[in-house]
Chains A and B, each alone.
Chain A
Amino acid sequence: DTGVSQDPRHKITKRGQNVTFRCDPISEHNRLYWYRQTLGQGPEFLTYFQNEAQLEKSRLLSDRFSAERPKGSFSTLEIQRTEQGDSAMYLCASSWLNQPQHFGDGTRLSIL
């Protein structure tokens, strides 16, 4: 069990650019979640997958955000045309069904 791995750890980009983050879950976990966390707040749910199926997306998630998990293993989260308000820590978590979630170290996104 190598834990949940996220890449990159930090991303600095200019406003308007596209960014993509990757998450590798714990191998035997079938569920993968994306959360966003800003300073002083708890993680905020974005979307989740069970195997390769995306089962739920937050209503707060704009059309600029898209996530994939094509083979039911790793997942990518893409943000198009980044805005200042997208600056946050993006956390990935995985679990086996409704078992407790294991979080990765996150990707910190800074928009210049």
Chain B
Amino acid sequence: GQQVMQIPQYQHVQEGEDFTTYCNSSTTLSNIQWYKQRPGGHPVFLIQLVKSGEVKKQKRLTFQFGEAKKNSSLHITATQTTDVGTYFCAGPQNQGGKLIFGQGTELSVKP
């Protein structure tokens, strides 16, 4: 079945350093979505990418969707302690909107 893999599983950075997480799907995706889950919280939608090669920015966060629509990345510039949490990518399996999530990348930021 369809699989979504994320690396790394954990990332520990000093505040102010950059952070990147990578997402790869075993199948071509119609779109890729990114969610953030704070410790003890629930996944919160960040962004959706639809077009091949698409790049979107949200302040210090940059999201990319690969040309083949099978991989994606999230880059955070100059991390802050408020960035702490687990970042998940997710792709829909079919038109029903069922999402297949990656394992997530847990980010910790040392002040």
Contact = CB atoms under 8 A, between A and B. Distances in A.
B97 A31 contact: yes
Interface residues of A, number: 23
A106 B33 contact: no
Given A98-B92, A100-B33, A100-B48, A45 B98 contact: yes
A85 interface: no
B95 interface: yes
A101 interface: yes
B104 A101 contact: no
Contact of A43 (B9, B44, B101): B101
Contact of B42 (A44, A45, A50, A91): A91
A102 B35 CA distance: 10
B98 A48 contact: yes
B103 interface: yes
A41 B104 contact: yes
Interface in A18-53: 31, 33, 40-45, 48, 50
Interface of B: 4, 6, 9, 33, 35, 41-45, 48, 88, 90, 92-93, 95-104
18 contacts: A33-B99, A40-B9, A40-B104, A42-B6, A42-B101, A43-B99, A43-B101, A45-B99, A45-B100, A48-B98, A56-B98, A100-B33, A100-B48, A101-B45, A103-B35, A103-B42, A103-B43, A104-B42
